[in-house]
Amino acid sequence: MVIKCLEDYDAISSHAADIVAAAIIEKPSGVFGFATGSTPVGLYKSLIARYQRGEISFSRLTTMNLDEYVGLSADHEQSYRFFMQRHLFGHVDVRPECIYFPPESGEPSAFDDLIQSKGGIELQILGLGSNGHIGFNEPGSAFDSRTRVVGLASSTIRDNARFFEHSRDVPHQAVTMGIRTILEARQILLLASGANKSDAVVRSLEGPQTENVPGSCLQSHHNVTVLLDDAAAAGLTRNEK
């Protein structure tokens, strides 16, 4: 695991874009796993700029999103399909038929089979919840879990309420890649910013590996890069400037 502490959110976003762009150039027809939430927005903005400069193309990529709320239509402003269209897909040359989200109906675990049928994920982008969740794998999620519908922790519902007009509108369920699904990616890029993530960062990266801290599963992966700002990294005993 490589842990890098950078000056601020903009530096995280720029460095993350360097990593993702290099991976796209190396594997232009690869499968890439994308995440939502406020943390990767700067990364996506930087990727759009690189696309507009002709440095990268998404035209041959297949994309697999990490998760989606249950019960929100694709055109709902807080759905993750809408988020990705607004912040990335609507600004680059990715083919609509090559964009995938985990299904909330049918058999969600079939999403894992789809990923493998496409060759597996080259690079998975992750954020980190304040309770240590990755995707919507809340504390207590099994490390061998697969894509499934899950209930959201009260802390996650509170954290996400800021995106909705009324807190009562926040969905209480989501469909998410499982932890085992995530760990099957060949490369993982974890981003965390802000003092409110510092405790989760310490517990995920330097604490014991436990299902009570889903992010701690990343300690067992062979190719993880973690990008943090000073505030998120404040409690760590090790990092690379």
In a domain, 200, yes or no: yes
Q: Active-site residues: which are they?
A: 67, 131, 133, 138
Which of the residue ranges 1-5, 103-107, 237-241 would you say has the lowest mean pLDDT?
237-241
Q: What was the pLDDT predicted at 183?
A: 98
CA distances from 151 to 18, 55, 155 (A): 35, 40, 12
Of residues 95, 72, 1, 80, the one with CA closest to residue 40: 80
Q: Give the mean model confidence (pLDDT) for residues 33-47.
A: 97
Q: How far apart are CA 161 and CA 171, in angstroms?
A: 9
In a domain, 234, yes or no: no
In a domain, 203, yes or no: yes
Q: CATH code at 51?
A: 3.40.50.1360
Domain count, the chain: 1
**Mind listing the pLDDT tens digit for each residue in 78-120?**
899 999 999 999 999 999 999 999 998 778 889 999 999 999 9
In a domain, 198, yes or no: yes
In a domain, 7, yes or no: yes
**Mind listing the pLDDT tens digit for each residue in 119-159?**
999 999 999 999 999 999 999 999 999 999 999 888 888 88
In a domain, 84, yes or no: yes
Q: What was the pLDDT predicted at 240?
A: 57
More confident residue, 24 or 155: 24
Range of the domain at 148: 2-229
**Mind listing the pLDDT tens digit for each residue in 178-230?**
999 999 999 999 999 999 999 999 999 999 999 999 999 999 999 999 999 99
